[in-house]
Copies of this chain bind each other. A is one copy, B any other.
């Protein structure tokens, strides 16, 4: 990914960065942070590598709350848990922000190959899917090797049938395989409907070979670009859509290969169920000089309902809460406030992030920089920034303090994790801490997303890296660039 990013950056920007980095090496250390401060942060970084705070927080959330689909009982419990946990961790300020969400509830889920060879199949509804009729949907399978094949297909091939997209996600460290296939998850249902199909199933978007399907959001609402108004897609516009596990997709492909028509039946009870008020839960370490100006970090508090949401995104909550807490415990009170936001309803539409960005739209100038941890608990191998050029010396200093951990710098064109995107769009500077996601998509959105997958040393390494980022970003007295909406980079 780093290579790709470099390729993407145009040469002029590259030159500027290089000049900056050269410049930085000579002057920044003395000018931006005191030697004592850097030493204090480095000591804390090293201490954090064996600290268990993030692991313990994540274990607490997964054991005491567990699954917490937005709008479920687990959601309400998670909000209570988060308030109590922030207080227990001795944050200076703890509060919530109401977030109105559209609640989706999972229902019955069954699937089977009826003929020529009967098999029970593991299926899960995609989040936002309309339900099937109670007696299920029964029809012949029409097989497409990719979303593109479905898009290109003549409607006569699809009419009256159940579409099946079978391409498999590729395993990579940075998760780049995800974007190549998850279009199927988003659009299989609507494109099938458009072509007169009666149902849609997809191979799970995941790299594992367990018989555990991966859920995830699908295109279920239409947003009016002018008014911003949302509308649920009707049953004529999107068919009930489910994901089957990788082994079952392989089995289905093997049966299809034999050349005879394959009859399939599935039942999905998931459906929309009114509005619900959830909450962003926020904990702060108040800034020494500028309490109103904030460095925004956090993870999302909601999870899918199949697992206990350990890697998605209990870990992100644990890592960022621990980073802020360890900074405070070390007696460090940075220049600006560290605001840890545990976002509501990331999975079904970034509701918490959108609500927050809307509520803060007149206060964006106080949002100095932001980042989210939402890619599991694998070790961080690189950082990326998206800041004004004048702030690159600070980035370089962060990179310098991360070098002993073997962490590289991926350039100043960094992306942002999901809940940060509305703030980024509003102009906030952002940071990205890239984690090893080699195994992330084995577990993502499945029942296997559980605490046992988190390696204590790896989650602790995340905290160490976040401490360096947060402690320096919040201590830096300059601005990372509220004026950052940069046409070069969008």
Chain A residues within 8 Å of B, Cβ to Cβ: 59, 62-67, 117-120, 122, 209-212, 246-248, 250-251, 254-255, 258, 307-308, 446-448, 450-453
The answer to whether B247 touches A448 (Cβ under 8 A) is: yes
Chain B hits for A212, CB < 8 A:
210-212
Known contacts A122-B447, A212-B210, A212-B211; A255/B452 CB under 8 A: no
- CB within 8 A of A450: which of B117, B250, B255? B250
The answer to whether A211 touches B254 (Cβ under 8 A) is: no
Instruction: Show 23 residue pairs from A and B whose CB-CB distance is below 8 angstroms, ordered by the A residue.
Output: A59-B254, A62-B251, A63-B251, A63-B254, A65-B117, A66-B117, A67-B120, A119-B308, A122-B447, A209-B448, A209-B452, A210-B212, A211-B212, A211-B446, A211-B447, A211-B448, A246-B452, A247-B450, A247-B451, A250-B450, A250-B452, A251-B308, A251-B450
Known contacts A247-B452, A451-B250; A63/B117 CB under 8 A: yes
Alpha-carbon distance between A254 and B65 when the two chains are bound, in angstroms = 13
Known contacts A63-B254, A251-B63; A209/B120 CB under 8 A: no
CB distance from A11 to the nearest CB of B (A): 46
Known contacts A247-B448, A308-B119; A255/B211 CB under 8 A: no
Alpha-carbon distance between A119 and B67 when the two chains are bound, in angstroms = 8
Alpha-carbon distance between A59 and B257 when the two chains are bound, in angstroms = 12
The answer to whether B254 touches A451 (Cβ under 8 A) is: yes
- Top 6 A-B residue pairs of the complex, sorted by shortest distance between their CB atoms: A247-B450, A211-B447, A250-B452, A63-B254, A210-B210, A66-B119
Chain B hits for A255, CB < 8 A:
63
Alpha-carbon distance between A399 and B62 when the two chains are bound, in angstroms = 53
Given contact pairs A63-B251, A246-B452, A251-B451, a sample of 19 additional A-B residue pairs in the complex whose CB atoms are under 8 Å apart: A63-B117, A64-B117, A66-B251, A67-B120, A119-B308, A209-B453, A210-B210, A210-B448, A211-B212, A211-B307, A211-B446, A211-B447, A211-B450, A247-B448, A247-B450, A247-B453, A248-B450, A250-B451, A250-B452
CB distance from A138 to the nearest CB of B (A): 19
Alpha-carbon distance between A21 and B182 when the two chains are bound, in angstroms = 61
Alpha-carbon distance between A119 and B64 when the two chains are bound, in angstroms = 9
A446 nearest in chain B by CB position: B211
Alpha-carbon distance between A64 and B117 when the two chains are bound, in angstroms = 5
Chain B hits for A452, CB < 8 A:
209, 246-247, 250
CB distance from A163 to the nearest CB of B (A): 21
CB distance from A450 to the nearest CB of B (A): 4
A307 nearest in chain B by CB position: B211
Chain B hits for A447, CB < 8 A:
122, 211
Alpha-carbon distance between A258 and B118 when the two chains are bound, in angstroms = 46
| Among A210, A258, A448, A453: residue with most chain B CB under 10 A | A210
Alpha-carbon distance between A66 and B117 when the two chains are bound, in angstroms = 8
Chain B hits for A453, CB < 8 A:
209, 247
